[in-house]
Structure 1
Amino acid sequence: MKKKPFFPKPSWDKAFGKKPRMYCRSNTRIIANPGLVIKVLLRKKIIVFLAYFVLVALTMLNLANYKWANETQPCSLQVSNNLNSKSRLNLNLLYNSPPVRRRQLVYVLTTWRSGSSFFGELFNQNPGVFFLYEPLWHIWQKLYPGDALTLQGAERDMLSALYRCDFSIFQMYNTELGKNISTQDIFGAPFNKVICSYPLCSFYRKDIVGLVDDKVCKNCPLQSLEALEEQCRKYDTVVIKGVRVLDINVLAPLIMDPSLDLKVVHLVRDPRAMANSRIKSKHGLIRENLQVIRSRDPMMRHLPMAFHNPKGLRRDTDYHAVTAMEVICEHMSKTLNTVLSSPDWLKGKYFLVRYEDLVENPIRTLKQVYRFVNLTASNDMEAFVMNMTSGRSNSALPFKVSSRNATMVASSWRTVLNLQQIRQAEDYCHHAMSVLGYVRARTMWEVRDLKKSLLTLPKV
C-alpha cells in the first residue's frame, strides 16, 4: 500500500479553518496565501488614497493661485503681502516668456545750417543713447553728382539697416575700393561719443557728459564695423541725425514698419537765419548745394537772385548757397502739410522743435524732447545744455560746436542782411514761415530792433 504524501499543516490553516488550494502547473505546486494578499491589497488602497488626496490638494492650490493672480488686489493687500509674494508659488511664471526688449529709434529731421550739430549733442552726450551723425553723407559722396531727390530711396534703405544695427551697408558706399571701412571712416567719428569712449577707445567714457576733442579721438584705434554693431545692440535708444532727407514722407515706410518704433524730431530754424548762415559756410556746402539745385522742380517759380551785390559777394557761390533754399523750403512745406493733415501713421510719432525756442529755454526744451523719446534729463545734461547756450562767445563758425551766446547767434542775421536779401528768403519760404510762426519783417527798423520778437506760436 502506497503511503500518502505528508504536508505539514501551516499555521494559517488553523486560523481560517480551511485547507489550502493547490494549483498544479507542470509538476510545480503554488500555494496561495490569502492573508498576504489581503495585506498587499490594503497597502495598495492606502497608497492610492494618499496619491488621490495629494492630487486633489495640488489641484485646489493651483486653482486658488490662478484665482489670486487674476483678481485685482487692493493697494492695502498688495502692501501687506509684499513680503510673502516672493515665497508664493506663482505657476504662471513657469509658462510666461520674458517681456520682449523694446528699443526706441529716433530720426532728427532737419536741414543744413539749422543748429543741428548742437542739437545732435543732446543725444550724443546722453549715456543711454547710441548716436550717429550724418551717416547719409556716404551716399551723397559715393553717388555724386546725383540730385537730392533720386537719392532719397537709398537713404531710406540705409536708415532701415542702421536702425537694426547692420553697419555692413557702409561698405556699399565706400569711396575707396578694396578697403574695409572701420569706425574711423564713418562720417563724424572724431566727435562720436560711442566711438571715442570705452570699450572702443580708452580716451573717454560714455557716462561722463562733455564734448570730446576731435584731435584726440582721431588717435583712437581702428575698430571693425562688427565691433560697432555689438555696441549698437547694447543700447535701448538709437538716434540718427541727418540733413539729407528732404521730406518726412520719405520716412513713412519706416515709421509704419511694425518691427521698428521710429519717432521723428523735426528741428527747424528761421529761414532768414539759415540763408545768412549758408552764405558764411558756402564753401563747405558747394557739392551739397549743387545736388539740391539739380533736383529743383522745373515748374517752380524761380525768383531773381537778391544776394548778389557789388560790395564783394561773389554771385556764383552765393547764388548756389541761397538758391538751394528754394528747394529746401519747398520740401519743408510738404513735410508741414503732411503733419497738418494728421495721418494715422504719424500720430504720436512727430515732435517739432524750433531752434529759437531751444536757445531761449534750453532746459525746458531738453525735457520736452526727452519726454517725447522716453529719456530722462539728468542734472549733468541740464548743466551741459545751459553751458552750451550761455557762453560769452558770439562766434558763428560753421560746423563747430562750442559754448556760445546762442541767443545772439540766432538773431545775428538781423544785423547782417539787408532788406532785399531778407525779402528773398521770405519769398522762398513764406509758407513754411507762416506755419512755423516766423513773422515776416515789414521795415528795416523792425529787423534791427532786437527787442522786438519776430516769433509767434507755430501751427503744428
Structure 2
Amino acid sequence: MSRTGSLFVLLLLLLCTLLYIYQFDSARYLLKLSHKDKTLAKLSVSDVLSSLSSDNSFVATSSEVELDSFDNSLGDIAINTTKVEGPVQVIVLARMRTGSTLCGEIFNQNPELFFIFEPLHSFKVLQMSEDDSLEEESTDLLKKLYKCKFPRMFIQTLARWSIGKGKSRKILPICQETDGCAKATPSQFQRVCTKSGHVVTKTIRANVKMLKPLIKFHGINLKILHLMRDPRGTASSRRSYYTPKKRGGPEGVGKRSLHELGLLSTSQDSKKNTIPKLCAWMKETLKDALNKPTWLQDQYRLVRYEDLAEDPIRLSQHIYDFIGLELPPVVLKWIHNNTESDNSRSKHQFSTRKNSSRASTSWRGRLSLEEVLAVQDICGDVMASLGYKKLYTQEELENYSLPLVEPIKLDKDLMIM
C-alpha cells in the first residue's frame, strides 16, 4: 500500500473513532436528563427527544439516570426518579392577614431552608399589579433571590425593617453581625443562601402571572403555594390591624367598623388593603391557576388557611410532599407548640403562637352580622368557588357548630387538603 493510501486509512479510522465518541457522549447526555414522575419509568431515546423538543419537561442535572444496557441501537433507559435532585424553590403566595405568617413559619423553622419574609416589601405600593414596570421589577428581584443573588437595595430595605430580618432564621444572624444589616454585603448573604440551596419566600405583594417568567424563561424549579382564607376572617383581622390602638386600654376598645375604617370602599385609589381589592385578587389569581397553563403544571397547589389551621401537621406533611422535601422533626415540634396554644388573642400582629383552629373561626365573634353580610355581598362568587358557606342570621353567626367551610371539587393536582 502506498504512503498516501496508508494516510487515508489512518484518517478514516480516526474519523470513525471521533464519530463513535461523539455518538456515545451524546447518548450519555440524554441519559442524564431528568423525569418528573416519582416511579421508575422505561423510556426510549425517541421518547426523550420528543419530550425535549415539545415542552422542555425534561431538565438536565435534576435527577440521576441509570443505564440498564447500552448498545449501538440505544435501547430502553431505566430512569430513577425516586428523589428529586437539585434545589427546589418555593413561594407562599398570599394577601395581607390571610394566615401567611403561619404558613411561612413551616419553612422558616426548617434549618435546611433559606427563608425570606416579604422580599417585595420595598414595593409596598404594588397591590393589584396594575403597574407593569413595577411588576417586572418585582419579578426580577425574585429571580435574583432564587439564584442567591442579593441586590444592595434588598439588603438596605432589611436594614431599615426589623420585622423582615427578624422573621428569617437565616438572615437574622447575618444582620446581628453587621450592625443590623447596615454593613452587610451581598457576598455574606450569598454564602449562607448557597449553602442552604433551597430558597423559600413568603409574599403578600405578588400574583400568579408574575411568576410565569421565573418558571418558563429562567429555569427556576418554583413550587407555588397559593394561600386563600375566608374573606370574612381576613376582614376581621384587617379591622384589628387598622384600628388605632389605645395604649393601656383593653383589647377592642375604640374598635371601628369595616365601613368606618374604609375597608369596604370600592375606590381603587384607597391606600388601604380593602376587601373589594382582596376578593378581586382572589378571583383573578384563582382563575389564572384553574386555567391550568402548561407552565404551571406540577408547580402549583392551592391551600386554604382553614384546612391548615384545622390540621396543621397533616397539611404541613402534604405541603412538604408537594415540594419534594422531608418534613423534619424540628418543624413538627414547632407546629405542635405554636398551634395548640390557648393564646388565641395574641396582641402581636404577626404572632403565630395561638390555637390555630380557634383563630380561624374567631371572626364569628368579632364581626357584626351587618359586616358579615357586606363582605358576603362583595365576595360571594369567590367564596362559593372556595367552599365558604354564607350565613344570613345572627343565630347562624353565633352557632359555632354550624360548619362554614365545605370540601371543594378540585383536581387533586391543584389543591392540598
Correspondences of 1:58-457 after superposition (within 5 Å): 102-140=86-124, 148-150=129-131, 151-168=134-151, 170-171=152-153, 181=156, 184-185=159-160, 188-197=164-173, 222-245=183-206, 247-257=207-217, 259-282=219-242, 313=256, 318-320=261-263, 324-397=274-347, 399-457=349-407
Return the letter of the residue paired with 2:325: L
Contact 1:436 1:459 (C-alpha < 8 Å) held by counterparts = no
SS at match of 1:149: coil
Q: 1:234 to 1:322 in 2, by over 3 A?
A: farther
SS of 1:266's partner is strand
SS of residue in 2 equivalent to 1:441: coil
CA shift in 2, pair 1:363/1:147, >3 Å: closer
C-alpha separation in 2, matches of 1:158 and 1:406: 32
Aligned-partner residue type, residue 191 of structure 1: K
Matched-pair contact (CA < 8 Å) for 1:279–1:321: no
SS in 2 for 1:233: helix
Q: C-alpha displacement at 1:145, in angstroms?
A: 9.2
Aligned residue for 1:409, secondary structure, equals: helix
1:41-52 correspondence to structure 2 within 5 Å? none
* CA positional deviation for 1:201: 5.3
Letter matched to residue 347 of structure 1:
Q
Give percent identity, aligned residues only.
Answer: 30
Distance (Å, rounded) in 2 between the aligned partners of 1:407 and 1:268 = 15
Per-residue CA deviations over 1:106-127 (Å, capped at 9, x if unaligned) read 1110000011112111111101
The number of equivalent residue pairs is: 313
The 1:268/1:316 distance shift into structure 2, 3 A limit, reads closer
Change (3 A) 1:184 1:423: same
Residues 344 and 359, structure 2, Cα contact 8 Å, conserved in 1: yes
> Alpha-carbon deviation of 1:435?
1.5
The whole-number CA distance in structure 2 between the counterparts of 1:264 and 1:280 is 29
Equivalent pair of 2:346/2:353 in contact (CA under 8 Å) = no
Distance in 1 (alpha carbons) for counterparts of 2:127 and 2:204? 16
- Give, in angstroms, the shift of residue 156 of structure 1: 1.2
In the TM superposition, what is the alpha-carbon distance from 1:414 to its structure 2 partner?
0.5
Q: CA offset at residue 139 of structure 1? A: 2.2
Check the 8 A contact 1:106/1:264 in 2, yes or no.
yes
1:336–1:435: 8 Å Cα contact kept in structure 2? Answer: no
Choose 1 or 2 for highest CA Rg: 1
Partner of 1:12: none
Shift of 1:389: 0.8
The alpha-carbon distance between structure 1 residues 442 and 314, as it changes in their structure 2 partners (threshold 3 A), is closer
Q: TM-score, normalised by structure 2?
A: 0.68
Q: Match for 2:212: what amino acid? A: A
CA distance in 2 between partners of 1:422 and 1:435 (Å): 18
Give the gaps of 5 or more residues in structure 1.
Answer: 1-69, 71-99, 174-179, 203-216, 285-310
Match of 1:46 in 2: none
1:36-58 CA distances to partner (integer Å, 9 max, x unpaired)? xxxxxxxxxxxxxxxxxxxxxxx
Paired AA for residue 222 in structure 2: L
In 1, the alpha carbon distance for the partners of 2:316 and 2:110 equals 12
Distance in 1 between residues matched to 2:260 and 2:143, nearest whole Å: 35
Deviation (angstroms), 1:283: 5.6
Give the structure-1-normalised TM-score.
0.62
**Using the alignment, how far apart are the partners of 1:254 and 1:441 within structure 2?**
41
Partners of 1:110 and 1:268 within 8 A in 2: yes
Using the TM superposition, give the Cα deviation of residue 338 of structure 1 relative to its aligned residue in structure 2, in angstroms: 2.0
1:458 partner SS: coil
What CA deviation, in whole Å up to 9, does each residue of 1:382-408 have, x standing for no partner? 121111110011214353224212222
Q: Distance in 1 between matches of 2:185 and 2:338?
A: 33
Task: Tell me, in whole angstroms, the C-alpha distance in 2 between the residues paired with 1:336 and 1:404.
Answer: 29
Cα distance in 2 for residues equivalent to 1:434 and 1:121: 29
1:295 alignment partner in structure 2: none
- Alignment deviations for residues 300-359 of structure 1 (CA, whole Å, 9 cap, x no partner): xxxxxxxxxxx9627886114765221221121111112222221111111111111112
How far apart, in 1, do the equivalents of 2:112 and 2:156 lie? 25
